[in-house]
Structure 1
Amino acid sequence: MAPRIRVHRTWILRARLRRLRNLRALRAQRALAERRWRPRKVWSPLRRGVTFALALLLTAGVLGSVAVVASADRTVTLTVDGVQHRVHTDAARVRDVLADSHITLGAHDAVTPGLDQPVGGSDAITITRGRLLHLDVDGVQSDAWVTALTVADAARQLGYGADDFFSPAADSPLGTDPTSLVIRLPKPVTIVHDGLTQRIATTAATVGDLLKSLNIVVRTTDFLSAGAGDPLRMWEQIVIQRVKNGTVTEVVAVPFPTSTLPDPTMPSGQQRIVTVGRPGQARVVYGVSLSDGVQTVKTMLSSTLLVPPLAQVTAVGTAVVAATPLATVPGSGSATSAPAAAGSALQAADHPSQAPTPSTSRPPSTTPRPSAGPRPTPTTKPATPTPATPKPATPKPATPKPVTPTPKAVTPTPRPATPTPKPPTPTPKPAGALNWDALAMCESSGNWSINTGNGYYGGLQFNLSTWLSYGGGAYAARPDLATKAQQIAVATVLYNARGRAPWPYCGQFL
């Protein structure tokens, strides 16, 4: 029974589907029949014209809206510091485009084209940010704003050339942060070295940088007219002298010292050489400096006595010659020697009738003549004196003629002869009583190791020849290198031989 029920149900479903299909087809046939037999509507000309006009207006509005939208949406190329951006905007001016792009301009920024210029469909807007530069031009500090992207562009904007020196380099980019820029202009300088003279234009900062760029080596002993760290100046002349130091050994003559010896057997003022002086020899080592081959400095380093000098001894007469007594000639009123008075009397007797002429006769002298007393002892100098041979001062007696003089009744008034006083001879002090400190205070302000370079050394200001001649070489090469006691020992030997003569002025303090 179950299968029969299933078939019955299937038959029912099929029947219902057939009826549904038939119903649909019936309805379609009815609708078609109605359209075929429905009466047609007739359009009037006015209605047709209005309908056509409305259609045209609608079409024009749609097309205008499309055109406006198309014209408002444009693409602009925006370049900021070399970086490009494509911007879609409907702004009409450059200022509005930048505002739509949220770009804020600074006081030193540059915009091309101007802010109030209109924007076209294919326009490009270029923005360059301002850069602050801290300039150092040959040591002069200043600030400047530029709109350049590299150092070279900034130099061109500031008016500097490609031959100038820039630090950072010319091809370095510039950021928006402040940048320090060092600029050095070419300077004409002259360099004199090794026999050459070079004239160049350089952008070196210092003298040392210039010499390094030219591969000129300056040794520590060489002379450089300017310091290596000194900045270069316009038209500066730099001189380099090659200095060589060395030693030179020479054999020099040592002058002989002189001394005097009092001789009581000779008249005062006469001298004679007892011992002839002979110079010695010394080996002296000098330190020399040569600048470009020319000697500029010569300094004595050491001295060795090879042959000691022989001192020259001169005898000086100290004997006093007795004065000749004076006599008064009768009637003359003057005092003369006795032989001269006798000769005058005899001459008057030969010519008794001849009287003296008033125009040629002289009045009697009222000033007595000085007697021929002893001459003062001359002070000997350190140099070798020239021995003077004085003439004997013995007057020749007049030979009287055998005539008889006619005496006159005149009472002579004799005048005593006034002898010239002899200057006192200073008595030398013994060596132990000498004040060497006072002498040193006068000569060198008490500095026993002084060496000023004037050729005199030590507290007593010995010269080298005197120091070596009197045995100073046994103590030191120079007096200033010896001790105070050694200098006094040599000075004592010198004082015993020559007295105060080696110290013409300061010897009075001894």
Structure 2
Amino acid sequence: MSPAGSINVWSIVFTSLRTRIAAGGVAVALAALGATAASLDKAVALSVEGQQSTTHVFGSTVADALAKEGITVTDRDLVVPALDQPISDGTEILVRFGRKLTVTVDGQTGEYWTTAGTVDEALSALGIRAHDNAALSVSRSAVLGREGLALSVTNPRGVTIAADGATRTESSTAATVGALLSALGVTVGPLDRVNPAPDTALTEGLAIAVARVEQRTWTETQPVAFATTRKDDATLTKGTTKVATAGVAGQQAVTYTETWVDGVLEGTAVTGTQVTKPAVDKVLLVGTKPAPVVTGASGSAPSAGNTSGAGLNLANAAMWDRIAQCESGGRWNINTGNGYYGGLQFNSATWLSVGGGDFAPRADLATREQQITVANRLYAQRGLQPWTCAWAA
């Protein structure tokens, strides 16, 4: 220790020395800290969707560098190096975001995510089959933007076409049968038949047939039958009729159409009818007046060939004359050998069933008056129904 009142030189020296040493330590610490900060700061090169930039990052991984720049990625995006990889000064980071690609291949649609830059790259990366000659709705070199893209791919299909007597094989990307025929210059007329239909989708191995159809028409003049109208008439006896208006056939023009398919007649049909002359309907008056009462013959029956007036009934004689005129030309003794006899054309069975045997074995052997008498007997039973020429009454 220094005596009282003396100055300790060595204390002053040591104090000064400590002060200097302390001051130098701070400088060293600051220098060391600066060196550490410099070592943590990394200059990183970013390429985001082709846009180049440089950023300084204190983090240690790729994820830190992207976070520092506010870049958010998902598992659909491409990041190289991976997010968990370390970074150093000069590290280059590539980022490409995923795009939604909707692809329809030959009618089958699928949705995909890709980071490819062009359509061609995407198809290749996704393994989607697109023939070199396939038809694409957009160019193969089209750039895929982040908004995505809808794309259709039509691969060529091999088909056969039979038309005009020849068959050929074609490979085409046409969507339908009709589009293919148009592309090949195969004209289809309004009557021609295409099988399958023109709007059928084209598929591999499809067989297409075109049939040429021709139609030929002509017109014929044909009769139009008249109708018969029946009207009651109280002036005519029941069972009798009378023609008030004769029926007249009309005329019509009938159009026929033939259909020819590849030169072979398929069929003929009526395709039009036009009446050129209307028919005139027949008007037939039908008697409603009660038939007269027939008085039976009295006394003994006359023998065959009896020509006297005994037992005769000549009622309606004028009517029977008209019917006879129609039935036999008014020849009361006619026998043509057809099984019907006399003016009113009795057959033997009917003649005998109503007592014709009273006068003769057959009607042609009896007189007019005798035949009229027998006719009145039959008329009383059956009216005029047995006579074909009843209308002449």
Instruction: State the TM-score, normalizing by the size of structure 2.
Output: 0.49
Q: Between Structure 1 and Structure 2, which shows a larger proportion of strand residues?
A: 2
